């Protein structure tokens, strides 16, 4: 009866193929076939059925059939294989089904089948379980010559496997392939460090000193990890071995650097102290004051703090005959002699200057002979200019090494422009220099600051270069860019410790999060993305998207915080695949990242009413969603969506004008300045440069023109020239259009000017800023290089000129900011105003006088062009033809009275 019940519970299968497989499963269960009866041929037959199921699109039904069968018959060979292979083909992470199947045959020592199953699993990508089992299979089948290849593949996907990496290193060492052996020894070393196994670490460390003693950067990198993962004492102990190797090879500078590190770990290490003293003796054997400086610094005395003693010694030892020095007033000089405690320095403007050694140590900065300041002081300008201009790498190395081997682009520019390169030459030069800094293996970055470049004594691999950049970056999303860059490099290995450490940085967010933020989501999406290309990385995905998504507290803020476009797109895709209400979520997220994929997905799936609501929401809340409004205007081409949202063309234009105004205001108030400048520029370009406003005005009626013009007039920070051009367009369309406001209003707000004078003043300001100010800066720099400022006439003259230029610039900027461009269309000859010519009769002399009324910029009293702001100009304003008035040329002497009558008022061409 039990069998009958089971048969009744079996799923109904419609396909002949599924029916055939159901019968096979039943037969397997009823006959209880022995494992000894299975062969690889039967699994090959199952592969044929899998192919037919895939082509017939029965994969889902077949997997469901097998999974339900396994509930009652957990060791069904057929069901395990079919279900497991379907899951594997879909890159599902859970491989428990196939592991169970393989284990059954391993336990029964059916090595032929085990081998076939493992090879089938590996057809879909590397698997640690399949590779280990296959290696065991080869061993049991006496095919040990094949094991090496499997071990190599295993080490690439199992980042924790150290013993096999070591075994591979020993294998290639026996074959005489030292280069490959070293690679595997390095992998094993990193993995033993992670496990904290110091005995293994020291054994391999010794091997690597034997095979690659010159790879100091590697040893220094590993030493830091040993100090962190094992102990500082062990790190110092291993550095001693590297030091002895360097000293033996005569690399004294490197040996000194290693001893300094050892003494940082333990400043009481007497052996290291004796060794560093000895190394200094070897390095400075030809220095005339060597022993004296060792004595003065107490370098060999155990009671003196060793770090202070080393610093003191190195300060003194830099001073010797022929050494270059720098003084903040006298510039670069060269030590011409040293006698006892006195040194003599030849500066360019102060030769034979004597100083006490103690004063010199504090007042002078020692320079190497290749320091950029020394080269600028000793080389001909033409020679240095030519070399810097043509040899970018040499110039970069020279400047960077001049400043403790750490330098940013700002400092490099300051050293080269304008003293060596002109501003124009710099623009082209730096583009090539950036490429060299990025690609040349002799350049790296500081691990503390991505902006600081360093020069390496030995070229580094692209792996280490990118790893160093990764460590130096502080921004989470910049690190995502770097690890992707690392992954894309053909020469970079994903089983390297560099990649492993970078990758673990992101998986760490998935292992220990208390709340879901953009870093957690980004880490999940990045790991999932990389696991799609490298399945072995998928083991780090111990959670699914639905689980993470349901715990997000502020979805819009998180989405906005995803500063990587690719991750944003993947996030949206995962929402669409897992969330039933994805259209509503898309509408909610759009204002926080204007992506075409949101619009396209809603349109493709027929959610046009959602799109109408999205557009309506953005326009109604334009203050909050100003960037979204601009994006929609530029990118949405379907007019029905706007009409559905009751948004006319006029409403679009008015909304853009409102956004232009509020962004100007926010910029003035320093609110989100960068973002508002960007939006402001986009809106300004649409309205004025793309002539959107002009095109709309040419089609608008009078009431609409008035509304639009009034709004534009109220945008306080809009360039008056743009308002002037807009008035001209309106005037051309409708000569009888009555503008609101007038000249009086403009006069009260600023300085009335003609368009021609406004442009002339702007050109004048540009000329001063772009030509005269830089030229003056060069004059000051040159004057500074001459030395003593107290008697430096060139410096005083240049500074005086600087003050004049600064004053002129400030005045011009103020006037330009206040300027209101005069619109000739507003001139009314009923009264005297800006832009009119008045004919007056002088009652005192009986003569006729003619005056043109303009602004202070255009004023030319000799030609009777007067400013409306002058006393006489102010008296003339608003007078009518036929009107008589009095004017006192000297208000302190009221006897000098003149009586005028206005005879005629005409409009002047401006």
| Model pLDDT for residues 52-66, shown as the tens digit of each residue | 988 888 888 999 999
- Cα separation, 568 vs 823, in Å, equals 50
The H helix count followed by the E strand count for the chain is 46, 14
Contact (CB, 8 A) for 616 and 646:
yes
Q: Please name every residue paired with 854 in a beta bridge, in sequence order, or none if there are none.
A: 867
Q: Which range, of 534-548, 606-620, 869-883, averages the lowest pLDDT?
A: 534-548
Q: So what's the pLDDT on residue 872? A: 86
- Sorting pLDDT into bands at 50, 70 and 90, what band is 1? very low
What pLDDT, on the 0 to 100 scale, is given for residue 91? 66
* 452 band by pLDDT with thresholds 50, 70 and 90: very high
Compute φ and ψ for 336, nearest 5 degrees: -95, -25
| pLDDT tens track for 6-19 | 333 444 445 888 99
Cβ-proximal residues to 830 (8 Å cutoff; 6+ apart), any chain: 880, 905
pLDDT-derived band of residue 435, with 50, 70 and 90 as boundaries? very high
Residues 388, 580: Cα–Cα separation, whole Å: 62
Q: Is the pLDDT of residue 693 over 60?
A: yes
Instruction: Answer with the residue of higher pLDDT: 203 or 288.
Output: 203
pLDDT at 198 exceeding the cut of 60:
yes
According to the model, what pLDDT value does residue 896 have? 73
In this predicted structure, what is the pLDDT of residue 788?
55
Q: Given this model, what pLDDT does residue 187 score?
A: 92
Q: Which of 307, 293, 305 lies closest to 262, judged by CA?
A: 307
Write out the H or E segment, with its range, that includes residue 342.
Answer: strand 342-347
Q: pLDDT at residue 702 above 70?
A: yes
pLDDT at residue 902, as a whole number? 93
pLDDT band at 600 (very low <50, low <70, confident <90, very high): very high
Q: Is the pTM of this model over 0.75?
A: no
C-alpha–C-alpha distance, residues 500 and 159, integer Å: 7
How far CA 675 is from CA of 594, 670, 678, in Å, comes to 14, 11, 5
d(CA 332, CA 348): 7
Q: Is residue 743 over pLDDT 70?
A: no
Taking Cα atoms as reference points, which of 822, 828, 776 lies closest to residue 797? 776
With a cut of 90, say whether residue 559 has pLDDT above it: yes
Evaluate whether 558 touches 521 at the Cβ level (below 8 Å): yes
**Span 555-578, mean pLDDT?**
92
Q: Which two tokens stand for residue 226?
A: 């040993």
What would the mean pLDDT of 501-518 be, rounded to a whole number?
88
> Between the CA of residue 714 and those of 280, 619, 626, 664, 668, what are the distances in Å?
75, 21, 19, 12, 15
The pLDDT value recorded for residue 616 is: 93
| Cα–Cα distance measured from residue 686 to residue 233, given in angstroms and rounded to the nearest whole number | 66
Q: For residue 321, give the nearest of 349, 376, 272, 360 by alpha carbon.
A: 360
The residue assigned the tokens 């059954």 is 104
**Nearest Cα residue to 725 out of 657, 824, 858, 650:** 824
Q: Where are the beta strands (DSSP E) in 368-476?
A: 443-445, 453-455
Instruction: Kindly tell me if the per-residue pLDDT of 414 is higher than 80.
Output: yes
Helix (H) or strand (E) holding 885: strand 884-888
pLDDT of res. 10: 46
How do strand 365-367 and strand 884-888 relate by DSSP bridges? unpaired
CA atoms within 13 A on the CB side of 464: 18
- Rounded mean pLDDT, 133-152: 91
534 or 623, which is more confident: 623
What does the pLDDT look like over 653-692, one tens digit per residue? 999 999 999 999 899 888 899 999 999 999 999 999 999 9
Q: Report helix, strand or coil for 877.
A: coil
Q: What is the mean pLDDT of the chain?
A: 87
Q: Mapping DSSP to helix (H, G, I), strand (E, B) and coil, where does residue 92 land? A: coil
Contact between 380 and 386 under an 8 Å Cβ cutoff? The reply is no
Cα-flanking dihedrals φ and ψ of residue 95, to 5°? -110, 25
pLDDT of residue 582: 94
pLDDT tens, position by position, 617-651: 999 999 999 999 999 999 998 889 999 999 999 99
Give the DSSP letter string of 775-820: HHHHHHHHHHHT--GGG-HHHHHHHHHHHHHHHHHHHHHHHHHHEE
Q: Which of 466-480, 719-733, 871-885 has the lowest mean pLDDT?
A: 719-733
Inform me whether the pLDDT recorded for 451 exceeds 60.
yes
Query: Structure tokens of 103?
Result: 């284990």
pLDDT score at 241: 94
Q: Three-state SS string across 721-766, please?
A: HHHHHHHHHHHHHCCCCCCCCCHHHHHHHCEEECHHHHHHHHHHHH
| Three-class secondary structure of residue 881 per DSSP | coil
533 versus 176: the higher-pLDDT residue is 176
- Tally of residues, the chain: 910
Q: How many whole angstroms from its chain centre is CA 291?
A: 51
pLDDT mean over 6-33: 72
**What mean pLDDT do residues 798-805 have?**
86
pLDDT tens-place string over residues 750-778 = 678 888 888 888 899 889 988 888 888 88
Tell me what the mean pLDDT of segment 509-534 comes to: 88
Q: Is the pLDDT of residue 742 over 60?
A: no
- Taking CA atoms, 49 is separated from 11, 25, 117, in Å, by 19, 13, 16
Q: How confident is the model at residue 746 (pLDDT cuts 50, 70, 90)?
A: very low
DSSP letter string, 316-338: HHT--TT-EEEETTTEEEEEEEE
What 3-state DSSP class applies to 704?
Answer: helix
Question: What is the C-alpha separation between 730 and 273, in angstroms, rounded?
Answer: 86
Strand 342-347 and strand 331-339: the pairing is antiparallel
Question: Residue 84: is its pLDDT beyond 80?
Answer: yes
Under a CB-based contact definition with an 8 Å cutoff, are residues 596 and 635 in contact? yes
pLDDT band at 168 (very low <50, low <70, confident <90, very high): very high
β-strand partners of 367: 324
């Amino acid at each position: 009866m039990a069998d009958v019940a089971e048969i009744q519970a079996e799923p109904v299968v419609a396909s002949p193929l599924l029916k055939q497989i159901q019968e096979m499963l039943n037969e397997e269960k009823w006959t209880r076939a022995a494992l000894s009866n299975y062969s690889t041929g039967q699994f090959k037959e199952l592969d044929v059925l899998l192919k037919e199921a895939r082509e017939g699109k029965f994969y889902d039904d077949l997997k469901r059939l097998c999974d339900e069968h396994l509930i009652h018959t957990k060791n069904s060979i057929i069901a395990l294989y079919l279900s497991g292979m379907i899951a594997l083909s879909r890159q599902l992470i859970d491989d428990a089904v196939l592991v169970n199947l393989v284990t059954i045959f391993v336990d029964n020592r059916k090595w032929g089948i085990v081998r076939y199953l493992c090879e089938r699993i590996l057809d879909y990508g590397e698997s640690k379980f399949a590779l280990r089992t296959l290696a065991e299979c080869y061993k049991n089948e006496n095919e040990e010559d094949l094991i090496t290849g499997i071990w190599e593949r295993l080490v690439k996907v199992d980042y924790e496997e150290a013993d096999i990496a070591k075994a591979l290193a020993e294998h290639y060492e026996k074959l005489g392939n030292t280069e490959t052996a070293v690679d595997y020894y390095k992998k094993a070393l990193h993995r033993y460090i992670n496990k904290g196994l110091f005995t293994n670490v020291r054994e391999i460390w010794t091997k690597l000193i034997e095979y690659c003693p010159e790879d100091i950067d590697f040893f220094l990198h590993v030493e830091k990890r040993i100090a962190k993962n094992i102990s500082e004492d062990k790190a110092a102990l291993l550095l001693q071995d590297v030091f002895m190797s360097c000293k033996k090879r005569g690399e004294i500078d490197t040996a000194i650097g290693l001893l300094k590190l050892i003494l940082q770990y333990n400043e009481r290490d007497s052996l290291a102290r004796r060794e560093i003293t000895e190394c200094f003796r070897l390095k400075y054997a030809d220095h005339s004051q060597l022993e004296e400086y060792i004595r003065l610094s107490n370098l060999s005395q155990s009671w003196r703090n060793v770090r202070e003693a080393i610093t003191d010694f190195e300060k003194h030892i830099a001073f010797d005959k022929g050494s270059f020095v720098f003084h903040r007033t006298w510039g670069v000089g060269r030590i011409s002699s040293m006698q006892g405690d006195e040194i003599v320095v030849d500066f360019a403007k102060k030769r034979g200057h004597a100083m006490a050694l103690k004063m010199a140590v504090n007042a002078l900065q020692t320079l190497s002979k290749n320091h950029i300041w020394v080269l600028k002081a000793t080389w001909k300008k033409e020679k240095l200019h030519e070399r810097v201009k043509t040899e970018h790498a040499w110039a970069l190395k020279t400047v960077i090494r001049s400043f403790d081997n750490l330098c940013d682009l700002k400092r490099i520019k300051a050293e080269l422009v304008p003293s060596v390169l002109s501003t124009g030459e710099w623009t082209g030069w730096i583009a090539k220099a950036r490429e060299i800094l990025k690609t040349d293996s002799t350049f790296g970055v500081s691990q503390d600051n991505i902006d600081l470049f360093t020069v390496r004594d030995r070229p580094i691999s692209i792996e280490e270069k990118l790893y160093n950049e990764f460590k130096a970056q502080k921004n989470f999303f910049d690190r995502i860019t770097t690890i992707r860059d690392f992954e894309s490099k053909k020469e970079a290995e994903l089983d390297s410790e560099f990649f492993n450490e970078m990758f673990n940085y992101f998986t760490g967010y998935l292992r220990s999060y208390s709340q879901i933020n953009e870093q957690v989501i980004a880490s999940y999406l990045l790991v999932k993305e990389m696991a799609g290309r490298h399945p072995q990385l998928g083991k780090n995905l111990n959670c699914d998207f639905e689980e993470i998504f349901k715990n997000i507290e502020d979805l819009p803020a998180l989405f906005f915080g995803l500063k990587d476009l690719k991750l944003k797109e993947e996030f949206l895709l995962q929402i669409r695949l897992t969330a039933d209400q994805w259209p509503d979520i898309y509408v909610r997220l759009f204002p926080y990242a204007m992506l075409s994929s949101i619009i396209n997905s809603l349109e493709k799936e027929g959610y046009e009413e959602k799109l109408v609501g999205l557009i309506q929401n953005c326009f109604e809340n334009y203050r909050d969603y100003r960037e979204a409004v601009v994006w929609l205007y530029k990118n949405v081409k379907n007019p029905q969506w706007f009409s559905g949202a009751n948004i006319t063309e006029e409403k679009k234009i008015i909304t853009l004008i409102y956004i232009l105004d509020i962004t100007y205001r926010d910029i003035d108030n320093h609110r989100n300045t960068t973002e508002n400048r960007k939006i402001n520029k986009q809106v300004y370009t649409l309205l004025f440069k793309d002539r959107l406003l002009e095109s709309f005005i040419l089609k608008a009626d009078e009431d609409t023109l008035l509304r639009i013009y009034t709004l534009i007039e109220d945008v306080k920070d809009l360039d008056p020239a743009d308002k002037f051009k807009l008035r001209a367009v309106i005037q051309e369309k409708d000569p009888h259009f009555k503008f609101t406001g007038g000249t009086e209003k403009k006069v009260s707000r600023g300085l009335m000017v003609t368009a021609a004078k406004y442009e002339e003043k702007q050109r004048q300001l540009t000329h001063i800023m772009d030509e005269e100010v830089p030229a003056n800066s060069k004059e000051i720099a040159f004057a500074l290089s001459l030395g003593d400022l107290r008697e430096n006439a060139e410096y005083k003259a240049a500074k005086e000129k600087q003050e004049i230029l600064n004053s002129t610039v400030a005045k011009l900027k103020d006037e330009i900011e206040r300027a209101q461009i005069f619109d000739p269309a507003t001139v009314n000859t009923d009264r005297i105003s800006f832009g009119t010519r008045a004919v007056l009769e002088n009652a005192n002399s009986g003569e006729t006088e003619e005056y043109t009324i303009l602004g202070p910029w255009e004023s030319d009293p000799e030609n009777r062009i007067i400013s409306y702001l002058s006393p006489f100009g102010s008296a003339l304003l608003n007078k009518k033809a036929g009107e008589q008035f009095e004017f006192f040329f000297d208000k302190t002497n009221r006897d000098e009275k003149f009586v005028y009558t206005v005879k005629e008022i005409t409009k002047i061409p401006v």
